[in-house]
């Protein structure tokens, strides 16, 4: 297994130039004053398709041969990776089929279809999305673009933190949402290269803390049915590739519960006038709960996405 490195992140940045948005880095004076810290939010909710996933999806397709593109691509995803691959495929004029759970947010499913992809639905409890995708690979010769266990996907995701550090300078600590580990793995590569003293923490839902358990056990731990409103982080387990990178470089993995996520979601809506999906609030929630001391530090936080079903969003705001 060949792990990606920072050179791969640099190549991804070249592929993404003029195609991905250079998303804004925002601060909240209110939050900075309450923490006694400088907090820099990398707002990937303003990325194309509304999430960081466009970076990895586009870089993966950009790295394919002409012959591979002609046969099309297949991906499996609960939403944001689906949209990323669908849009990237549209831009490259490549056929795309996306395997999505029947319970995926309606907005994410509609957007995936809107980008021209074919959607195959499956039952999370009784069917294996990877087996469905693998059948398409074998029967039609399509190329699988997995959501996180792929060097080009990881390298693409790392460009978000590359941009963040290049814009704001050295960081003391960085918080990154964690599901399958693609964003965290890429972020670790960028942080190691550009701000080597920075401590990097992954943040996952309390009801799906497989990565935290994996680090403790020294091997990959699987949670078959993780539960949280952070639907984008409900991956049962890390992949060997992401686990290897996280185990090598991460400072730790933290967890937050759904109440913490709703509080962060409300903060973004009320104080920063931003729509952020629950998964995108993971890093911010860890900061707002001060799970590690932050006073006097320069803190980076990746907001991973803003794709939330409006009906669910309204309910979460009302419940907060």
* SS3 assignment, position 121: strand
Annotated catalytic residue within 8, 42, 50, 78 = 78
Of the residues 204, 206, 231, 309, which is catalytic?
204
* Cβ atoms of residues 202 and 253 within 8 Å: yes
Query: Is 204 a known active-site residue?
Result: yes
Separation of alpha carbons 276 and 67, rounded Å: 38
Which DSSP category does 17 fall into? T
User: In the annotation, is 210 catalytic?
Assistant: yes
Determine which one of 185, 195, 214, 304 is catalytic. 304
- The phi, psi pair for 247, rounded to 5°, reads -60, -35
Active-site annotation holds for 172 = no
Of 8, 50, 53, 72, catalytic: 53
Round to whole Å and give the CA distance between 6 and 157. Answer: 11
Sequence-distant (6+) residues with CB within 8 A of 91 are: 19, 58, 61
Of 208, 232, 283, 305, catalytic: 208
> Which tokens go with 226?
């993780």
Active site residue 128: no
Residue from 210, 258, 277, 309 carrying the catalytic annotation: 210
- How many Å apart are CA 14 and CA 192, to the nearest integer? 19
| Known catalytic membership, residue 53 | yes
Residue 7 annotated to the active site: no
Q: Which residues pair with 66 in a beta bridge?
A: none
Give the active site residues. 53, 78, 204, 208, 210, 304
């Amino acid at each position: 297994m060949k792990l990606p490195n920072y050179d791969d992140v640099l190549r991804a940045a070249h592929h993404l130039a003029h195609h991905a948005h250079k998303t804004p880095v925002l601060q909240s004076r209110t939050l900075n004053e309450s923490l006694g810290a400088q907090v820099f939010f990398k707002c990937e909710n303003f990325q194309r398709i509304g999430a960081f996933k466009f970076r990895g999806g586009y870089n993966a397709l950009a790295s394919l041969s002409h012959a591979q593109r002609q046969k099309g691509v297949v991906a499996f995803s609960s939403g944001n990776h689906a949209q990323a691959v669908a849009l990237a495929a549209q831009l490259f004029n490549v056929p795309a089929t996306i395997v999505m759970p029947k319970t995926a947010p309606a907005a994410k499913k509609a957007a995936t279809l809107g980008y021209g992809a074919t959607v195959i639905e499956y039952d999370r409890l009784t069917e294996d999305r990877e087996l469905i995708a693998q059948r398409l690979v074998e029967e039609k010769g399509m190329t699988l673009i997995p959501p996180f266990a792929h060097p080009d996907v990881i390298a693409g995701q790392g460009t978000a933190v590359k941009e963040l550090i290049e814009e704001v300078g050295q960081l003391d600590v960085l918080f990154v949402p964690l599901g399958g580990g693609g964003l965290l793995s890429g972020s670790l590569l960028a942080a190691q290269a550009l701000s080597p003293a920075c401590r990097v923490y992954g943040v996952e839902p309390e009801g799906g803390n497989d990565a935290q358990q994996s680090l403790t056990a020294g091997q990959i731990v699987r949670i078959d049915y993780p539960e949280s409103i952070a639907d984008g982080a409900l991956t049962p387990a890390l992949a060997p590739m992401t686990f290897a990178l996280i185990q090598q470089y991460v400072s730790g993995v933290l967890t937050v519960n759904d109440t913490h996520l709703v509080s962060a979601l409300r903060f973004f809506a009320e104080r920063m006038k931003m729509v952020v999906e629950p998964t995108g609030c993971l890093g911010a929630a860890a900061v707002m709960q001060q799970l590690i001391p932050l006073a006097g530090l320069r803190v980076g936080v990746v907001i991973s996405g803003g794709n939330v079903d409006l009906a669910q969003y309204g309910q979460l705001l009302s419940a907060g």
